[in-house]
Amino acid sequence: MKRITTISIFLLLLSLASLACFAATANSPLERLRSGVQSVINVLNDPQYKGVVDKQDEMNAKVREAVKSFFNFRELSKRTIGRPWLKFSSEEQDRFISLFTQLLEETYLGRIEDYTNEKVSFDKETIIKAKYAQVDTRLLTNKEAIPVIYRLKLIDNAWNVYDVKIEGISLVNNYRSQFAGILDTSSNDKFETSKKELFTRLEQKCHELKDQQEKK
């Protein structure tokens, strides 16, 4: 009986401690990002998948899931379109988000095999206006340290990534310049046609990337 009480007290303390941990992660963008990145790395290093050809699809799905847990693709998509986003209907917004997410996934999942035990160093965290945060990190390769900056936004009490800057090149800004080259906002008619073109080109690109993946 005494043993059971000890165990239950122990368990209670343990859960309290983990609760405190959880609260801390919710508060700090840096910790949130670190656990997110760590979870991706854990999947990549999982001996269950590493180097096993048959399980690559399963691994990709797991990575996708891990990334989705700390990236906010809605915010990311919204920012790549910029102000014309407000003129998208909600179905169009959803369609864009799913296509653009797919594009990013297909592009970056193809590069997973390039990962060779690099470490990530989390250097600095800056919070602005209470809901925007920037975390400076460096990807430490054998030869050099590549600066990678994450930008996060606090939405529904969770810090989620909405932009990544590598060597000064912002992902959102880069795609925005491309989408802005396609979207023509000068008149409503032109906007509608250019929006259609944007969707066809996105679909085409996703298709291309998928074919490429399958060829591998």
Partner 1 sequence: MKKPMTLKNSASNALLAFLVLTFILLTFPSQVRSAESDDPILVAQVGSGIIGAVEKENGSAPTDDDFDDDIWGDAKTQQQTGASDPWEGYNRAMFTFNDFMYFKITKPVTQGYMYVMPLRPRTWINNFFQNLLYPVRVTSCLLQAKFFTAGAETSKFVANTVIGMGGLGNVAGSQQSTMPLYLGNEDMGQTFGVWGISNGPYFVIPVLGPSTVRDAVGLGIDTFVLNPFWWFGIPWYYSVSAGAYNQINKLSFHLGEYESLKEGAIDPYLALRNAYLQYRTKQVNDAKRGRPAPTSSIVTDPNAETQPTN
Site residues, partner 1 (CB under 8 A): 17-18, 20-21, 24-25, 30-31, 34-35, 37-39, 41-42, 45, 78-79, 82-83, 85, 103-104, 107-108, 110-111, 117-123, 128-129, 132, 134, 138, 140, 143-145, 151, 167-170, 173-175, 177-179, 181-182, 201-202, 205, 209, 212
Report CA 88 to chain centroid distance, whole Å.
23
CB of 119 to partner 1, least distance (A): 5
Residues 179, 170 contacting (CB under 8 angstroms)? no
Toward partner 1, which CB reaches closer, 95 or 138?
138
Residues 96, 205 contacting (CB under 8 angstroms)? no
The DSSP letter of residue 149 is E
* Integer Cα distance of 182 and 59 in angstroms: 35
CB of 6 to partner 1, least distance (A): 22
Q: How many CB atoms lie within 10 A of CB 166?
A: 13
CB of 153 to partner 1, least distance (A): 9
CB of 87 to partner 1, least distance (A): 12
* Integer Cα distance of 43 and 33 in angstroms: 16
CB of 55 to partner 1, least distance (A): 19
Toward partner 1, which CB reaches closer, 5 or 117?
117
Toward partner 1, which CB reaches closer, 192 or 197?
197
Q: Can you list the pairs that 19-26 forms with residues at least 24 positions away whose Cβ atoms lie under 8 Å?
A: 26/157, 26/158, 26/159
Toward partner 1, which CB reaches closer, 6 or 126?
126
Toward partner 1, which CB reaches closer, 30 or 63?
30
* Integer Cα distance of 30 and 124 in angstroms: 8
